[in-house]
């Protein structure tokens, strides 16, 4: 069972743009109280079916996290391969939404592409995510840019990045 800091409270995990729920189900299997939200109804239906098949309890919400309210706050708020799909003007709000759902001492985990499928660099807010968190008084615990190698997407090089930030 995943426990928070050795205490008896179950760890709460929220996934924004959970898709078909792989990470949510993995976290639920480890004992977390796991919730996923996605604006694709098809993805949410598949995630619920996947959870039933795996016999795990996880909550899947259909909607846009920028508008839909989810109860409570979470120890880990994650979003994998979503940020780069969001238009620049909404990216800041998306990250602020993740921050608002995070408990004190909790973490945001973001994984996203930094180049388009044609190999060009994606510009905008996501490039300076670390400084955004630092300005808000959060700690940046890890951040790394990786290169998948040629041929991964449409034969073009693909760069991706992860950032792990902690609320004070």
Q: Which residues bind ligand SAM (CB under 6 A)?
A: 17-19, 22, 38-40, 43, 64-66, 80-82, 85-86
Q: Are 62 and 56 in contact (CB under 8 A)?
A: no
Min separation Cβ 75 and ligand SAM, Å: 18
Which is nearer to ligand SAM, 4 or 90 (by Cβ)?
90
Structure tokens at 46: 């598949």
Phi-psi region of 96 (alpha: psi -120 to 50; beta: other; left: phi over 0): alpha
Min separation Cβ 131 and ligand SAM, Å: 23
Which is nearer to ligand SAM, 65 or 106 (by Cβ)?
65
Query: Taking every pair of C-alpha atoms in the chain, what is the biggest distance, in angstroms?
Result: 48
Min separation Cβ 9 and ligand SAM, Å: 25
Which is nearer to ligand SAM, 81 or 147 (by Cβ)?
81
Phi/psi at 3 (nearest 5 deg)? -120, 150
Q: Is the dihedral of CA 165, 134, 65, 71 positive or negative?
A: positive
Return the bridge partners of 145, or none.
161
Min separation Cβ 168 and ligand SAM, Å: 27
Which is nearer to ligand SAM, 11 or 110 (by Cβ)?
110
Q: Are 13 and 33 in contact (CB under 8 A)?
A: yes
Min separation Cβ 156 and ligand SAM, Å: 17
Q: Are 56 and 80 in contact (CB under 8 A)?
A: no
Residue nearest to ligand SAM (CB): 19
């Amino acid at each position: 069972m995943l426990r928070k800091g050795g205490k008896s409270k179950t760890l709460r995990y929220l996934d924004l743009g959970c898709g078909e729920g792989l990470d949510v189900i993995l976290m639920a299997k480890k004992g977390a109280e796991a919730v996923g939200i996605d604006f694709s109804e098809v993805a949410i239906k598949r995630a619920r079916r996947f959870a039933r098949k795996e016999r795990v309890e996880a909550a899947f919400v259909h909607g846009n996290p920028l508008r839909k309210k989810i109860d409570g706050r979470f120890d880990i708020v994650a979003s994998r391969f979503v940020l780069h799909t969001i238009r620049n003007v909404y990216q800041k709000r998306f990250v602020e939404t993740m921050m608002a759902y995070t408990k004190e001492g909790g973490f945001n985990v973001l994984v996203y592409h930094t180049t388009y499928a044609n190999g060009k660099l994606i510009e905008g807010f996501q490039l300076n995510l670390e400084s955004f968190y630092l300005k808000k008084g959060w700690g940046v615990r890890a951040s790394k840019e990786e290169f998948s190698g040629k041929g991964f997407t449409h034969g073009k090089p693909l760069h991706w990045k992860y950032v792990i930030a902690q609320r004070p």
